[in-house]
Amino acid sequence: MKKTIMVLAAVFAVAALPQGVASGQPGQGGMLPPWVNDNWRDAQYPPSEWYVGYAVDAVTGGAKLADVQRRVEKQAQLKLAEGVSVKIKSVSSTHTSSVRTTDGKNANETVKKDYGQQILASTDAEVAKVELTTFYDQTNNKVYALAKVKKADLAAYYASRIDYYQQNADNDLKLAKQFAESDKKRSAIEKIADAKKNLGECDKYSELLSAVDGNASKRLVDKGAALQSEIAAFETRLQESARIFVGGREILGGKDVDIVIPSIQSLLSESGCKVADRREESNFILTVDVRDCMQTASGSFFYVSACVKANVENVKTGKSDAKLNFTAPKAGWTNAERAGQKAFEEAATALWNEIRDKTEICK
C-alpha cells in the first residue's frame, strides 16, 4: 500500500568541521580527502553510531560550480536523512558562508550553511545537529559532499523536543486546574486544548527517537502516556463540574410567563453545562428578571422591548461573577401578545450572549 506523501518541515542545524587534504587518496591532480573512500567512511563513522550521507557529482555542461555544490550538498543531506526516514525529496533555500583554500589545481572548501528546508516524505524526518563538509577537485571538476550526525546527538535532540512539549503540556494542565479551582471553566478548557496540542507535537519526535534509540524513547513515551491519561481524566471531571441553577421571574403583559428561563436552560445544556434542579446542588446560580418595558404601535403593527436584569452568583465564593442590566432588541408583530413573546425570545438570545461574553460558567 502506498503511503500518503506529506509536506513536512525539516531543520538542518549545520556545524561545519574542517577536513584536511594531506592524507587523502590520490586524485588525478592531487590528494582527495579520506572521507571520499567508502571503506574509510564505514570505519570512521560506523552505522551503529552515525548517520552518514555522501554524494559526488561533476561540474559539466557549463553548469555553475555554486549550483552543483548546492545540489551535491543537498543530496548528501538527503541520503543521511534516508537513514531516519524514507523516500525523501527536498527543495532548499540556504544562506552560505565559506572558507576556501587552494593548493595547486585542487581546492578545498569548508562550508557552513543554515538551511530553511521543505521535505517531501512519507514520515516526518526532522534532522538536526548535522555536520556538513564539501570538497571541490578542480582537476577532475567534481564536487564531493559529506553529511554526518552522531545517533546519540540526534537522539538527544529528539528527546529534548519531546521534553519541551511534554513540559508545556504539564504546565497547561496545571494552569487548567488553577482555572477550574476559580470556576473559570472556559479558560480551563482552553488550557486543556493547549495541553493536548502540545502532546500531539510529541508524536513525530517519539517515532523518530524510537527509530534512533528505543531505550531512550520508552521513558518519554511512558511519561507522555501518563500525561495523556491525567489530561483525559481531568477533562472528564471538568465537563461534569459546572452545575447551574436558573431561577427568577418573567412578567409579560402583567402575567407570569416561562420563555427566557427555559431557553437559557436549553442553551446551557447545549454548551456542556449541567442545569441543576435545586439551588443547593449548583456551582452557580443565575437569577433572571425580565419584563416588557416598552410597547409602541405603528398602524396595525406592534413593537415590544424586554428589559432584562440578571445576576450570576458563584456559590463557592458567594460573590457575583456578573450583574447584567440591559434592554433587549425590540420585536414586532401584528398583535401585541405575539410581539411580546418574540421580544422575550430576543431577550433570551441577548442574555445568553451576555453570559458567554462576561462569565466563564460554560464553554
Residues 13 and 146 placed together within one structural domain of the fold: yes
**Domain termination site, one of 150, 172, 191:** 150
Per-residue model confidence (pLDDT) at position 337: 92
For residue 363, is it within any domain? no
Of the three residues 205, 222, 241, the one that is the final residue of a domain is 241
- Do 203 and 297 belong to one domain? no
Cα separation values, 302 from 259, 293, 326, Å:
19, 13, 21
Instruction: Judge if 17 and 134 occupy the same domain.
Output: yes
Task: Give CA separation, 244 vs 179, 216, 284, in Å.
Answer: 18, 47, 5
Tell me: do 138 and 171 sit in the same domain: no
Say yes or no: 10 and 129 in one domain.
Answer: yes
Confirm whether 271 is domain-assigned: yes
Shared-domain flag, residues 193 and 254: no
Cα→Cα distances 31→44, 68, 139, 142, Å: 19, 21, 10, 13
In a domain, 179, yes or no: yes
- Across the 363 residues of the chain, what is the mean pLDDT of every consecutive 10-residue run? 28 34 35 92 92 92 89 90 53 32 42 35 60 89 92 88 93 92 80 93 84 79 90 82 88 94 90 83 91 89 94 87 92 93 95 85 62
Same domain, 160 and 128: no
Q: Looking at residue 291, what is its pLDDT?
A: 96
Please check whether residue 283 is in contact with residue 297, taking contact to mean a CB–CB distance below 8 angstroms.
no
Does 35 fall in a domain? yes
Give the per-residue pLDDT at 187: 84
Q: 113 and 160 share a domain?
A: no
Which cell goes with 157? 535532540
Same-domain pairing of 159 and 230: yes
Distances (CA, A) of 86 to 62, 152, 162, 210, 345: 33, 20, 22, 15, 60
Integer Cα distance of 219 and 333 in angstroms: 68
Domain count, the chain: 3
Distances from the Cα of 60 to the Cαs of 55, 56, 57, 134, 143, in angstroms?
Answer: 16, 13, 9, 18, 11
**Quick one: 236 and 269 in the same domain?**
no
Residue for grid cell 534516508: 82
Domain of 319, CATH number, reads: 3.40.50.10610
Q: 27 is in which domain, residue-wise? A: 6-150
Domain boundary among 90, 117, 150: 150
Is residue 1 one of the residues assigned to a domain? no
In 3D space, the residue among 270, 251, 283 whose CA is nearest the CA of residue 359 turns out to be: 283
Are 218 and 209 in contact by the 8 Å Cβ rule? The answer is no
User: Does 249 lie in the same domain as 236?
Assistant: no
Same domain for 91 and 215, yes or no, is no
Global model pTM greater than 0.75: no
